[in-house]
Amino acid sequence: MKIAIGCDHTVLELKEAVSEHLKQLGHEVIDCGPYDHTRTHYPIFGKKVGDLVGEGKVDLGVVCCGTGVGISTSVNKCFGARAALVRDVASAVYAKEKLNANVIAFGGLVCGRDLALEITDKFLEAKYEKNDENDKVVEKLMSLEKRYQDHQTNDEHFFDEEIKKWEEGYYHD
């Protein structure tokens, strides 16, 4: 399976642990960054993962930030991506089986390494339960974005201006 992965600077070690774990299981991992502890903005990396998943360039995505809230929200702004923010295995399995989630998100400062790996494993193992009820729910979810499809950019340079400002010291903590 081909899996995109991304995070913010606060949980870099966790992203790397999940990435290594996935590779050991035989998956191809596309690491969307970041690659060091330089302070970052998680929407950049959530968008990278969300776009790859939404465009069908990867099978699934895994994202994390401190709580998982910010990065999962940014993934869900990408057309075709259905990210589920979870804090336990049962929610991860439900997200895949009932809602056909294609990105799993968790908070690296909320759940530890072992739980994050278990959430990821169970999400990947779960299968969408295709039936009329589940299909109708997924169809309703996806219809929300169809209204705005003409406005989607899918532009890999979407954050170039913000990154340039960041590098020039425009933003301050």
Residue 167 has pLDDT above 90, yes or no: no
Q: Which of 7, 32, 64, 65 is catalytic?
A: 65
pLDDT of residue 17: 98
Question: Comparing 32-41, 68-77, 145-154, which segment has the lowest mean pLDDT?
Answer: 145-154
97: left (phi over 0), alpha (psi -120 to 50) or beta: alpha
**Picking from 19-23, 35-39, 74-78, 139-143, which range would have the lowest pLDDT averaged per residue?**
139-143
For the chain, how many helices (H) and strands (E)? 7, 5
What are the residues whose beta carbons fall under 8 Å from the beta carbon of 116, sequence distance 6 or more?
14, 17, 18, 64, 106, 108
Q: Is 65 tagged catalytic?
A: yes
